Amino acid sequence: MHIWQAILLGIVEGLTEFLPVSSTGHLTVVEKLLGLRVDDAGVTAYTAIIQVGAIAAAIIYFWRDIVRLVLGFVRGVTSAEARQSQDWRMAMNVIVGTIPVAVVGLLAKPLIEGPLRSLWVVANALIAWSVVMVFAEYRATKKRGEADLGVKDAALIGLAQCAALVPGVSRSGATISAGLLRGVDRVAATRLSFFLGIPALTAAGGLEAVSQAKQVSATVGWASTGVGIVVSFLVGYASIAWLLKFVANHSLVSFVGYRVAAGLAVIGLLASGLIAAT
């Protein structure tokens, strides 16, 4: 992979990781347009690894919150009184919400890295999940805040995160939609989406870096991978700040028109034979 390609893919990752438009879907489409084999083990691993840059941006952006949650969890392990705190409850929500995607991600790894890498899957998922996002906004009451989130909410939102293993669905689109359907306001749902993404995507990127190290070295190169991580970090940090301000006053439906247009565009390219599905 050329450095300019790594920069472009890093920008795409940073821009789309936290927006409800599917970063994996966008990376898959752009990789294909760049002439890369999207079903190649090294390219698949690269797609997961550069997400670590965007997640590092989230860790830095929410550093104070993360430290508070970690300390709240540690205190709660040995203190019944500490387990009554909001920090303990939120830490447990993140742990519970992360379990489903960890289990499903490992069990479905061959499927995720194989058949689901098809651009037909990406295009249809972009369009189909848009319907879910519209429905979630339509049914949302947004009467509950972050302090009202419980373990049941976290478990259901965590299950919804599993849908994002399908390229084109969008992890934030899935988790925020689930939060809205639970009556949670958009800002609280978005913050939980960030917190759930940190362990899930860090683990996924780390696993690919270790297990597919030879393939990445042979097909993509670690220099290009490093550039992609750095660029996704820089762009991702700006994306987080923008999204939190945006969702305070705008609905997920704002992204639906783009998702549907992008899905139809990919279908058009596939149907015309201008690009192949894998």
Least confident piece of the model among 26-40, 124-138, 219-233, 250-264: 26-40
pLDDT, tens digit, 9 for 90 and up, residues 217-247: 878 888 888 999 999 999 999 888 888 788 7
Residue 175's pLDDT is what? 93
Residue 177's pLDDT is what? 93
pLDDT, tens digit, 9 for 90 and up, residues 55-102: 899 999 989 999 999 999 999 988 888 888 999 999 999 999 999 988
**H-type helices in 34-85, by residue range?**
41-49, 51-61, 63-78
Smallest Cα–Cα separation from 196: which of 58, 106, 105, 98? 98
Question: Does residue 168 come out as left (phi exceeding 0), alpha (psi in the -120 to 50 range) or beta?
Answer: left
pLDDT, tens digit, 9 for 90 and up, residues 95-117: 999 999 889 988 888 887 778 87
Residue 180's pLDDT is what? 93
Smallest Cα–Cα separation from 124: which of 95, 63, 167, 182? 167
